[in-house]
C-alpha cells in the first residue's frame, strides 16, 4: 500500500514514511493510493470478532508490507487493552433505531484515544527499527494534547512538547495533560491564546534547524493518516452488528476537522453498507455552510460548549476534495490555498455528489443543552455536549429510510461538566482511574508566546 499527496507534488510513500512525516512535503495530506475493498463474505466472517481482532483485519489492509502481522497484532492488542470497557466500543440503544456508540472508554475519555494510543506505539516501533529519535510538537485547545501524551508517554524514541494557552483550558483538560507521568512528555503553558500556540508550532515545523542533528519534528494532529486509519475500525465494529438484518446503517458524527467523518467515508468506500453520513457541527459551521449552500469560506471563530469542534477550517476536508475533483490535484490546491481570499464553491454536479453521501446540521449551544436534558429525562442517559450535537443532527436529518442511526459518542460527559451544569443537570463523577485527578501533582512550564522561548526549551530538553 502506498500513500499519495492530495496536492500531487510529492512522491508516493510507504505507510511508515507517511506516519513519520504526517504532512506531505508539498503541503498536501496523504491518502491511500487505492482504497482496499472488503466483500460481503469477508464482513460476514468478521461479525463476531472482538474489537482488537477486527482492528487487526482492517488496519493490516493499510499497513501491508510495512510490518509483519505478528508485530501489528501485538501492538493492536496492547493498544485496546488500555480501554476500560471489555467491548472497547460498546453500543447503547436510545430510541427506536437510535443508538449511541460509546468511544470514551480510553485513558483520556475521548475518542481520540482510539487513534493516538495506536499512533504512539506504531511510532516507537518504526523508530526503534531505525534507531532514530523524533520530537512531537503540537498545539492543543482540548482533547488532542492529553490523548497524544498518554499515547506516547512510554515511547523510548519520542519526546513530546504540547503547547496550550495558559489559563485558557478547563481544569480537567489541563490536569489531564499536566499530571501525566513520563520523562519524555512536556506541557508548555503559553502566555497567549490558542492561535499564538498554533502559530509557534507552524513556524517551528517550517524551519527545523534549531533541532539537534538527526532529529525531526512529527505532527500528530488528524492530518496524520494513521489516525484516520484507526478510526475506520469502529464504523465496521458498529455496522457489522446489523449485517444479518441486511440493513444499511447511518452514522451521525460530531465533527470539526472532518477527521472522524472522513474515516466513515473511507469505511463506506471499502464496502461497508452505510446509508447516510451525517455531519454535526456547532456554531462553527463551515462544513454545514458547504453542505447546505455550496459555500466554503472562513468566518470568525466562536467559542462554544463543544470546544473540541471549534475550528475555522476543516483540514481533512482536503482529502474528500481529492475524490470530489476526481484526483485533479491542481484544483484541490487552488481550492484550499484560495480560501484566505475567496468563498469557495464546487460545480453543481459535484455538490450534488457530496450531498448524495453526507447530510449536515448545525446545532447551537441552547439546542445542545436542550438535547442533553431531553435525552437524560427520557432515557436516563447523559450525553456530553459534542455527542449531543450528533444526536440532535441525527434527529433533524432523519431521512425516513427506517434504517438504524448510530451516533458517535466522542467524549465522556464528566470531561465537560460546565455544559452539563448549563443544561441544568448534575455534573457526573470522573471514572475511577481519574477520580483523584484534582489532587494529583501538576508539572508544566510557563513560557512567553514566542518561537524562541519554545525552541530554546525544546533544544535544552532533547
Ligand atoms: C476532536 C473531537 C471532535 C472532532 O473530531 P474531528 O476530528 O474534528 O472530526 C469531536 N468531539 C470530541 C470530544 C473531540 O475531542
Give tens-digit pLDDT for 70-93: 999 999 999 999 999 999 999 999
Helices (H), 64-193: 69-81, 112-130, 143-152, 171-178
Distances (CA, A) of 339 to 112, 304, 332, 344: 27, 23, 11, 7
- Rounded distance, CA 39 to CA 50, Å? 19
User: Using CA positions, which residue lies closest to atom 4 of ligand 1?
Assistant: 255
Q: What cell does 113 get?
A: 484515544
115 or 154, which is more confident: 115
Identify whether the C-beta of residue 462 lies closer than 8 Å to the C-beta of residue 159. Answer: yes
Instruction: Report residue 351's pLDDT band, with 50, 70 and 90 as the boundaries.
Output: very high
Q: What is the mean pLDDT of residues 54-62?
A: 98
- What's the mean pLDDT when you consider all of the chain? 94
244 or 390: which leads in pLDDT:
390
Q: Which atom of ligand 1 approaches the CA of 142 most closely? A: 15
Question: Can you tell me whether residue 279 is helix, strand or coil?
Answer: strand
State residue 194's pLDDT score.
81
- DSSP assignment of 377-446, as one string? HHHS-PPPHHHHHHHHHHHHT--S----EEEEE-B-GGGGHHHHHHTT-PPPPPPGGGTTGGGSPP--EE
What's the whole-model pTM score? 0.96
* Average pLDDT score over residue span 383-411: 95
Q: For the chain, which residues make up each domain, given as ranges?
A: 91-108+225-422
Cα 132 to ligand 1 centre (Å): 31
For residue 117, give the DSSP letter. H
Residue nearest to atom 11 of ligand 1 (CA): 410
| pLDDT above 90 for 402 | no
Q: Which pLDDT belongs to residue 452?
A: 97
Distance CA 249, CA 241 (A): 10
- Torsion angle defined by CA atoms of residues 239, 242, 247 and 251, in that order, rounded to the nearest 10 degrees: -30
Residue among 308, 424, 412 at smallest CA distance from 366: 424
Q: Is the CB of 411 inside a 6 Å radius of any atom of ligand 1? A: yes
Residue with cell string 453543481: 348
In three-state secondary structure terms, 125 is helix
Q: Do the beta carbons of residue 205 and residue 299 sit within 8 Å? A: no
- Say how far apart CA 439 and CA 425 lie, in whole Å: 24
For a pocket test of ligand 1, which of 29, 173, 253, 257 has the largest count of ligand atoms closer than 8 A to its C-beta? 257
Task: Give the residue, by CA position, lying nearest to ligand 1 atom 2.
Answer: 308
pLDDT above 90 (res 406): yes
- Ligand 1 mean position to 306 CA, how many Å? 9
What angle do helix axes 317-324 and 348-357 make, rounded to 10 degrees?
120
Q: Which three cell numbers stand for residue 433?
A: 482511574
Neighbour count for residue 68 (Cβ, 10 Å) = 9
Give kind and range of the element (H or E) at residue 294. none
Grade residue 64 by pLDDT with cuts at 50, 70 and 90: confident
Say how far apart CA 142 and CA 164 lie, in whole Å. 8
Which residue has cell 460498546?
Answer: 90
Q: How many residues does the chain have?
A: 462
* Cβ partners under 8 Å of residue 266, min gap 6: 35, 228, 232
What is the pLDDT averaged over residues 214-230?
90
Determine if ligand 1 sits within 6 Å of the CB of residue 106: no
3-class secondary-structure state, position 185: strand
Which comes out higher in pLDDT, residue 219 or 113? 113
Pocket test for ligand 1, best of 309, 313, 363, 420 (most atoms within 8 A of CB): 309
- Terminal CA-CA length for the chain: 34
| Alpha-carbon dihedral 452, 314, 106, 446, rounded to 10 degrees | 20
pLDDT band at 195 (very low <50, low <70, confident <90, very high): confident
Three-class secondary structure of residue 27 per DSSP: coil
Give me the pLDDT at residue 167, please. Answer: 87
Is 293 an active-site residue?
A: no
Calculated CA dihedral for residues 411, 416, 419, 420, nearest 10 degrees: 80
And the C-alpha cell for 203? 513556524
Q: How far is the CA of 129 from the centre of ligand 1 (A)?
A: 32
Pair 229, 27: CB distance under 8 Å: no
Please compute Rg for the chain using Cα positions: 21
Rounded distance, CA 103 to CA 408, Å? 7
What's the grid cell of residue 378? 427520557
**Minimum mean pLDDT range among 194-198, 249-253, 391-395, 442-446:** 194-198
- The reply to whether ligand 1 has any atom less than 6 angstroms from the CB of 231 is no
DSSP 223: T
Whether the per-residue pLDDT at 399 is higher than 80: the answer is no
Test site for ligand 1: of 106, 234, 308, most ligand atoms within 8 A of the Cβ: 308
**Is the CB of 387 within 6 Å of ligand 1?**
no
Q: How many CB atoms lie under 10 A from the CB of residue 430?
A: 18
| pLDDT tens sequence across 119-153 | 999 999 999 999 999 999 998 877 889 999 999 99
Catalytic residue among 112, 283, 392, 415: 112
Calculate mean pLDDT across residues 395-408. 91
Cβ(264) – ligand 1 distance below 6 Å: no
Question: Which class is domain 91-108+225-422?
Answer: alpha beta
| CA dist., res. 230 & res. 103, Å (int) | 12
409 C-alpha to ligand 1 centroid (Å): 10
Amino acid at each position: 500500500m502506498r500513500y499519495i499527496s492530495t496536492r500531487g507534488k510529492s512522491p508516493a510513500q510507504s505507510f511508515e514514511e507517511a506516519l513519520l512525516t504526517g504532512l506531505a512535503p508539498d503541503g498536501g495530506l496523504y491518502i491511500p493510493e487505492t482504497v482496499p475493498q472488503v466483500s460481503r463474505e469477508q464482513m460476514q466472517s468478521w461479525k463476531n470478532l472482538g474489537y482488537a481482532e477486527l482492528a487487526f483485519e482492517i488496519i493490516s489492509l493499510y499497513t501491508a508490507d510495512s510490518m509483519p502481522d505478528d508485530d501489528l497484532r501485538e501492538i493492536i492488542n496492547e493498544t485496546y487493552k488500555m480501554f476500560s470497557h471489555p467491548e472497547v466500543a460498546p453500543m447503547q440503544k436510545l430510541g427506536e433505531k437510535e443508538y449511541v456508540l460509546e468511544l470514551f472508554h480510553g485513558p483520556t475519555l475521548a475518542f481520540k484515544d482510539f487513534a493516538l494510543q495506536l499512533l504512539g506505539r506504531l511510532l516507537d516501533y518504526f523508530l526503534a527499527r531505525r534507531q532514530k529519535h523524533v520530537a512531537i510538537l503540537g498545539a492543543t485547545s482540548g482533547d488532542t494534547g492529553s490523548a497524544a501524551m498518554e499515547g506516547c508517554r512510554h515511547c523510548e524514541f519520542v519526546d513530546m512538547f504540547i503547547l496550550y494557552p495558559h489559563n485558557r483550558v478547563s481544569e480537567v483538560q489541563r490536569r489531564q495533560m499536566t499530571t501525566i507521568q513520563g520523562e519524555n512528555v512536556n506541557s508548555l503553558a503559553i502566555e497567549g491564546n490558542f492561535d499564538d500556540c498554533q502559530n509557534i508550532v507552524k513556524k517551528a515545523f517550517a524551519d527545523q534547524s534549531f533541532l539537534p542533528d538527526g532529529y525531526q519534528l512529527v505532527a500528530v494532529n488528524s492530518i496524520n493518516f494513521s489516525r484516520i486509519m484507526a478510526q475506520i475500525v469502529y464504523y465496521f465494529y458498529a455496522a457489522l452488528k446489523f449485517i444479518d438484518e441486511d440493513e444499511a446503517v447511518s452514522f451521525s458524527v460530531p465533527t470539526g476537522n472532518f477527521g472522524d467523518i472522513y474515516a466513515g467515508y473511507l469505511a463506506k468506500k471499502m464496502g461497508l453498507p452505510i446509508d447516510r453520513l451525517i455531519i454535526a457541527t456547532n456554531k462553527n459551521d463551515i462544513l454545514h455552510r458547504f453542505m447546505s449552500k455550496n459555500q466554503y469560506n472562513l468566518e470568525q471563530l466562536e467559542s462554544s460548549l463543544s470546544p473540541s469542534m471549534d475550528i475555522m477550517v476543516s483540514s481533512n476536508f482536503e482529502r474528500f476534495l481529492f475524490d470530489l475533483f476526481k484526483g485533479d490535484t491542481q484544483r484541490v490546491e487552488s481550492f484550499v490555498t484560495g480560501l484566505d481570499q475567496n468563498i469557495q464553491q464546487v460545480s453543481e454536479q459535484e455538490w450534488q455528489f457530496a450531498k448524495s453521501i453526507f447530510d449536515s446540521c448545525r446545532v447551537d449551544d441552547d439546542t445542545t443543552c436542550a438535547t442533553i436534558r431531553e435525552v437524560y429525562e427520557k432515557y436516563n442517559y447523559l450525553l456530553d455536549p459534542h455527542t449531543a450535537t450528533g444526536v440532535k443532527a441525527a434527529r433533524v436529518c432523519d431521512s425516513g429510510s427506517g434504517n438504524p442511526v448510530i451516533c458517535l459518542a466522542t467524549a465522556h460527559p464528566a470531561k465537560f461538566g460546565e455544559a452539563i451544569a448549563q443544561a441544568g443537570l448534575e455534573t457526573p463523577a470522573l471514572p475511577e482511574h481519574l477520580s483523584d485527578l484534582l489532587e494529583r501533582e501538576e508539572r508544566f512550564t510557563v513560557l512567553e508566546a514566542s518561537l524562541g522561548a519554545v525552541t530554546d526549551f525544546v533544544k535544552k530538553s532533547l
